[in-house]
Chains A and B, each alone.
Chain A
Amino acid sequence: MGRSKTNETLIFGPFFHGLNKRVVRPEVRHLREQDEDMNFPKLLIANRGEIARRIIRTCKRLGIPTVTVYSEADRNMPYVQEGDERVLIGPAQATKSYLNMDRIMEAAAVTGAKAIHPGYGFLSENSEFAKRCRETGLIFVGPETFVIEAMANKIHARNRMKEAGVPIVPGYDGPIESVDDAVSLAVEIGFPLMLKASAGGGGIGMQRVDSEAELRMAYDTTLQKAVNFFGDGTVFLEKWIEEPRHIEVQIAGDRLGNVVHLFERECSVQRRHQKVMEESPSPALTTKTRERLYEAAIRGAKSIGYTNVGTMEFILDHNGNFYFLEMNTRLQVEHPVTEMITGLDLVELQIRLSAGENLPWTQADVGAAGHAVEARVYAEDPKTFFPSPGEIGRMNLPSTGARFDFGYGEGSTVSPYYDPMVGKVIVHGMNRHQALAQMRKTLQQMQVDGIQTNLSLLLKILDNHQFINGRYTTNLVTDLLRD
């Protein structure tokens, strides 16, 4: 695999529009000749906001008709009008709209859509939904149902990866029956520990515990949260990894059993266990560790028969040891980082793989070049992270130098009912130094009025010496706000 395949003059696809043409970027690798219409049926996007717009963009290029669905709160969202057809699926509450399988299946039936793209979040990792789509004869843009099911449960996923020889965080792999049970296991493994919900995800349902007293206190609340959020009160224990970094590997697989990696994404800049800034390549990996990481990701994905696009998440300790955390059987929020260094369109890849096409290249054909960084703009207080819904007034996004994947525009209302992410800013440079400088310049030029945003926090991160040196852990944001 080469990391040097670059081209200075190629015309980029629609979402590369506005990039500084002098920056050396990877060659764009549309999987087919550009603008050639794909023979793929009408696609319903079972999601909202920026990811719905992102999917529409690729569908337009491939000539695939789209259906958007929306809740009463989202009537005036930009994505709704950008699809070819639109269906109102219910009131604002996600459980009554974007999580309501019946309404989404009805919307597909009414519009004659024959494929569903679930985006991320909502129903994207719900194996029941994938199953229903497929039983109705719809193409579900994602991996096989049994794969989604196998990876949805963290204990199960840990055991599958262990069997495949992928390192997992030391801990207890069986469910824990009681708080006394937890305490005796904890003493065996040793504090500090992470107490986690097996059905958890998105940073919800996990708690660090440093002592028996803390474990006893955290046990009930973690269990309760697991029941509330995921309807499953199974919890387990993992050893706490000192100075942890979160690094994930993008992979793609086809039905012939071919699996390739599309390099890593460093995701250690987090607040409340949720990602704030991502970059690729990771500044933490040596060449040797990087190769071992890719090898482990591919081995793990192959062992479960992974098809389509997915992500293997790992935690890296300060000695360069890495352990499997979980697998995301969907497109990631931070997928543009990978697109910027490889020149690939991951939504196109998802669609082609779900249409039954095979990977058009082998590992050796996939190259990456330069350095990409993504910053997530959240509608929240930059210090307390308290949500800040409201109407966006003026919004200035610089016209060159960055890719903006935003769900909202001027005059859009960021409603209190969904995720606080307003959009993502993605930049690419020849090297990390250049990419960070470009990100700083872009964020300084940005203006979002009417709501509170985390823009000042993002700039603070870019000025932090640990971040600049690439020597940061998942504690970065907490440490930075304490100083």
Chain B
Amino acid sequence: MAEEFKSVVSPLPGVFYRRPSADAAEYVQEGGRVEVGDTIGLIEIMKNFYEVKSDVAGTIDSFIVVNEELIDIGQEIARIVVE
């Protein structure tokens, strides 16, 4: 059975964060489980913060963008192995 990947793409340009604050733990780690609606990261755009949520349940395969990296609209953020 082939594994089904789901790409999470950025709806916005800005700066990507994997944790809610500099000292906090990451929302989710690679290999970690996510449910529908779970936050996997933050995007800062013009001093506003938007949560990036998963719209599938599954396991994080990998993050394509690292913490604090600049990100463009439509850019792939992470891949999730769908359950």
Which positions in B face A, CB cutoff 8 Å? 12-15, 20-24, 44-48, 68, 70
Stretch at the interface among A243-251, A260-268, A411-419: A411-419
Which residues on A sit within 8 Å (CB–CB) of B13?
A: 389, 416
Q: Which residues of B contact A418 (CB under 8 A)?
A: 46-47
Given A387-B46, A420-B46, A224 contacting B20 (CB threshold 8 A): yes
Contacts of A93 in B (CB 8 A): 15, 68, 70
Please indicate the chain B residues that have their CB under 8 angstroms from the CB of A95 in the complex: 68
> Is the Cβ of A416 less than 8 Å from the Cβ of B21?
no
Query: Knowing A416-B13, A417-B15 touch, does A227 contact B21 (C-beta < 8 A)?
Result: yes
Distance, CA A418 to CA B14, complexed state (A): 9
Q: Are A416 and B45 CB-contacts (below 8 A) given A224-B20, A228-B20?
A: yes
A379 adjacent to chain B (CB < 8 Å): yes
When distances are taken between beta carbons in the complex, the residues of chain B under 8 Å from A419 are: 46-47
Q: Could you jot down 12 A-B contacts, CB within 8 Å?
A: A92-B70, A93-B68, A95-B68, A224-B20, A231-B22, A231-B23, A389-B13, A416-B14, A417-B15, A417-B46, A418-B46, A419-B47
Which residues of A26-59 have CB atoms within 8 Å of chain B's CB atoms? none
Contact A379–B46 (Cβ < 8 Å): yes
- Give me 20 other A-B pairs in contact (C-beta within 8 A), A387-B46, A416-B46 excluded: A91-B70, A92-B15, A93-B15, A93-B68, A93-B70, A95-B68, A224-B21, A227-B24, A228-B24, A231-B21, A231-B23, A379-B46, A387-B12, A387-B45, A387-B48, A389-B45, A416-B45, A417-B15, A417-B70, A418-B47
Nearest residue in B to A272 (C-beta to C-beta)? B48
Chain A interface (Cβ within 8 Å of chain B)? 91-93, 95, 224, 227-228, 231, 379-380, 387, 389, 416-420
Interface SS of A by simple majority: loop
**Assembly CA distance A389 to B13 (angstroms):** 8
Q: Hey, which chain B residues are within 8 Å of A231, CB to CB?
A: 21-23
Question: For the complex, what is the distance from the CA of A417 to the CA of B48, rounded to whole Å?
Answer: 10
- State which of A92, A228, A380, A387 has its C-beta within 8 Å of the C-beta of B21: A228
A-B interface, 4 closest residue pairs, ranked by CB to CB distance from nearest: A228-B21, A387-B46, A416-B13, A420-B46
Whether B47 lies near A416 (C-beta < 8 A) is no
Closest residue of A by beta carbon distance from B69: A93
Nearest opposing residue in chain B for A121, CB measure: B47
Does B14 contact A417, Cβ atoms closer than 8 Å?
yes
**Nearest CB on B from A109, distance (A):** 26
Closest residue to B68 on the A side, CB-wise?
A93
Smallest CB gap from A229: residue in B: B21
Closest to A388 in B: B46
Closest-CB distance, A418 to chain B (whole angstroms): 7
Query: Smallest Cβ distance from B45 to chain A, in angstroms?
Result: 5
Interface centre among B21, B23, B44, by most chain A C-beta atoms within 10 angstroms, is: B21
Give A81 to B74 CA distance when docked, in angstroms.
33
**A311: min CB distance to chain B, Å:** 20
Residues from chain A with Cβ under 8 Å of B21 in the complex: 224, 227-228, 231
What's the Cα separation between A417 and B22 when bound, in Å?
18
Which of chain B's residues has its CB closest to A93's CB?
B15
Which of A224, A228, A389 is within 8 Å of B46, CB to CB?
A389
CA distance A92 to B47 in the complex (A): 13
Instruction: State the CA gap A266–B22 with chains docked (Å).
Output: 36
Which residue of chain A is the closest to B19 with respect to CB atoms?
A: A228
Q: Which residue of A lies closest to B22 (CB)?
A: A231
Specify which of B15, B20, B22, B24 lies most central, judged by the most chain A CB atoms within 10 Å of its CB: B15
Q: Least Cβ distance of A123 to chain B in Å?
A: 15
- CB closest chain-A residue, reference B42: A228
In the bound complex, how far is the Cα of B47 from the Cα of A93, in angstroms? Answer: 11
Q: Nearest chain A CB to B66's CB is how many angstroms away?
A: 12
B58 CB to closest chain A CB, in angstroms?
A: 26
Chain A residues positioned under 8 Å from B70 (CB to CB)? 91-93, 417
A227→B25 CA distance, assembly (Å)? 13
- Nearest chain B CB to A308 CB, angstrom units: 26
Most buried by B among A228, A231, A420: A228
Question: Whole-angstrom distance between the alpha carbons of A92 and B14 in the complex?
Answer: 10
Chain A nearest CB from B71 CB (Å) reads 9
Residues of B within 8 A of A417 (CB): 14-15, 44, 46, 70
A475 to chain B, nearest CB (A): 21
Bound-state Cα–Cα, A417 to B44, Å:
7
**B44 nearest CB across to chain A (Å):** 8
A92 to B24, CA, bound (A): 23
